[in-house]
């Protein structure tokens, strides 16, 4: 992925060219990973660029910051407005959006309270996260030896930078073994999520996804797909999922702001269902893209138009 160094990023109220956007090497975030962030997408619709579930993402950013006692010195409305302005300034019709709040330079030491809380927003063009071909044919996935943190270690409901060191290990291992991505188990050995995605299995006309007690992020795309599935008449359940149920499922797919709705064709070299995108995944994928691209009525008020 190549970045245009002249892209404008929003840094605490000012627009700065990406090449000039800098933080101090002694910033707390560099040494201790003290940051929370969001991944959001803006889609090109017939009525102009539209950000998908902007307010929900910003709410989760503030929730993550609250868990880590980071007081963001802006209101949620101000961050939403800054995101829209950043898209406008860069004249992008469709893009990925990364707001990140982090501890800056104050003093070193584990205690972060004497370090300022700073926020940056960046936008860039980004296609299918796992791959364009995999969106139709399905991804080849392996179950990682690296498990998700247990409760009482790291709060997984916070979308925090430090959590993704765990995800990196799983993703690196998957690549070394020839897989497109990893599935991680929780501390009990039950299915949790991908390294950066939530996961669903399909059994007949029932969709099942791990519950929030399975060390997963409360995914916004996850919630969107659950809502769409219920609108279509599917039964949707959040529950504990054993590893072997993945192998026996009719269909399995990932969801996420980056991954969108990505089917899975194989797990641990075992074919899943028909070995490519199944009919339920296809329907949900199509309805999801209808929603984000504004091709269907926005009955849930998910779109925020940039213009």
Catalytic residue, chosen from 8, 148, 159, 287, is: 159
* Strand-strand pairing, 117-124 and 181-185: unpaired
Q: What is the largest CA-CA distance in the chain?
A: 56
Spatial neighbors of 277 by CB under 8 A, at least 6 apart, are: 135, 136, 137, 138, 251, 263, 265, 285
Residues forming a β-bridge with 190 = none
Are the CB atoms for 147 and 182 separated by under 8 Å?
no
Active site residue 88: no
CA distance 36 to 55: 16
DSSP string, 45-69: ETTEEEEETHHHHHHHHHHHHHHTT
What's the alpha-carbon Rg for the chain, to the nearest Å? Answer: 19
Are the CB atoms for 249 and 203 separated by under 8 Å?
yes
For the purposes of burial, counting CB atoms within 10 Å of the CB of 69, is it exposed (0-12), middle (13-18) or buried (19 or more)?
Answer: exposed
Are the CB atoms for 200 and 208 separated by under 8 Å?
yes
Of 40, 121, 98, nearest to 292 (Cα)?
A: 40
For the purposes of burial, counting CB atoms within 10 Å of the CB of 124, is it exposed (0-12), middle (13-18) or buried (19 or more)?
Answer: middle
Tokens of 73: 């010195």
Active-site residues: which are they? 159
């Amino acid at each position: 992925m190549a970045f245009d160094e002249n892209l404008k990023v929003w840094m605490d109220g000012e627009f700065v060219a990406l090449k000039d956007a800098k933080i101090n090497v002694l910033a707390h975030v560099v040494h201790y990973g003290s940051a929370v962030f969001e991944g959001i997408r803006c889609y090109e619709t017939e009525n102009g660029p539209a950000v998908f579930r902007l307010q929900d993402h910003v709410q989760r950013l503030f929730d993550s910051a609250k868990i880590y006692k980071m007081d963001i010195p802006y209101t949620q409305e101000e961050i939403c407005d800054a995101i829209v302005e950043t898209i406008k300034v860069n004249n992008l019709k469709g893009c990925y959006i990364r707001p990140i709040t982090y501890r800056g330079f104050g003093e070193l030491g584990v205690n972060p309270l004497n370090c300022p809380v700073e926020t940056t927003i960046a936008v860039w063009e980004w296609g299918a996260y796992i791959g364009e071909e995999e969106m139709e044919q399905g991804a080849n996935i392996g179950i990682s030896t690296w498990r998700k943190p247990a409760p009482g270690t790291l709060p997984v409901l916070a979308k925090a930078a430090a959590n993704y060191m765990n995800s990196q290990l799983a993703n690196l291992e998957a690549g070394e073994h020839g897989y497109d991505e990893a599935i991680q188990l929780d501390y009990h050995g039950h299915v949790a999520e991908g390294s950066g995605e939530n996961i669903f299995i399909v059994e007949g006309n029932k969709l099942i996804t791990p519950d929030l007690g399975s060390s997963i992020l409360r995914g916004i795309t996850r919630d969107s797909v659950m809502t769409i599935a219920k609108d279509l008449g599917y039964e949707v359940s959040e529950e504990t999922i054993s590893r072997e149920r993945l192998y026996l499922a009719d269909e399995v797919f990932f969801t996420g702001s980056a991954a969108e709705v990505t089917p899975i064709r194989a797990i641990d070299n075992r074919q899943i269902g028909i070995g490519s995108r199944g009919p339920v995944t296809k329907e949900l994928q199509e309805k999801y893209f209808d929603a984000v691209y504004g091709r269907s009525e926005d009955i849930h008020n998910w779109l925020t138009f940039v213009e």
